[in-house]
Copies of this chain bind each other. A is one copy, B any other.
Amino acid sequence: MDALRLKQILEEVKSGDLPVDEALSSLRTLPYDDIGCAKLDLHRGIRTGFPEVVFCQGKTDEQAVDIVKRLAGHHTKVLATRVAPEVAGKIAAAVDGCTYHSLARILVVDKPGEKPDHAATDGRYVMVLCAGTADISVAEEAAITAESMGSRVERSYDVGVAGLHRLLDQRDRIMQANVLVVVAGMEGALPSVVGGMVSCPVIAVPTSVGYGASFGGLAALLAMLNSCAAGVAVMNIDNGFGAGYFAHLVNR
């Protein structure tokens, strides 16, 4: 509801084209869809051009199916994250055009005929790195998210700091990236090392991979927040989706 639209409404009221009650109503009615358990923010999708995103964790299977179905009716692309395989099955049975990425636990609904517009980001790409094999699921959540939004994505996994040569060997691809997503659990040192090598923004994602004094990812989270390298910003523990989303905003 920007100033332009507001002025236009007022002009129509002045000219009598728009009755006061209707103006009142349109000034008060906002573009969302109330389906009982949720108020779907249809306006956001329209405004930003991004796919709608449903966070499925903590929702019942029925709520997840209902919400995805409803959104798929309004949008050319819908993302659902943290989707367990059995929930993915239920959604796919109810909605056309579903693709399920099991490692990333993401389900994407594409309107038939639509295709990703990677061209939109030219040659610019997001690069997703992760420190260990156990971090791959979070890294893939980031990668699939950015790809679904239209970014080209490069990946390099298992490049943790205890074997620096594996990381240094990827130096060229890393240094030419437009923005980096760096995923690590345990001591979370990878973003600091990478941050010192590049001049593009680094989005650090701590994971809950580890045990004992990792305290569910707290160790990695604190390490990343205290990174001695400038140009590093941090996401919530295991929040691959947020990192992929943020990376696309920067890459766009």
Q: Which residues of A contact B (CB under 8 A)?
A: 1-3, 6-7, 10-11, 13-14, 16, 20, 23-24, 27-32, 37-39, 41, 43-44, 47-50, 53, 57-59, 63, 67, 131-134, 136, 157-166, 168-169, 171-172, 175, 186-189, 192-193, 195-197, 199-201, 203, 206, 208-239, 241-243, 245-246, 249-250
Asked if residues A212 and B239 are in contact (CB atoms below 8 Å), the reply is yes
Q: How many copies does the complex hold?
A: 8
Asked if residues B222 and A237 are in contact (CB atoms below 8 Å), the reply is no
A-B contact pairs, 29 of them (CB 8 A): A2-B171, A3-B28, A13-B13, A30-B165, A37-B157, A41-B163, A41-B165, A41-B166, A59-B134, A131-B228, A132-B228, A161-B189, A161-B228, A163-B196, A164-B196, A187-B224, A188-B223, A188-B226, A199-B249, A201-B249, A212-B221, A212-B226, A212-B236, A212-B238, A213-B225, A213-B237, A218-B222, A231-B242, A232-B242
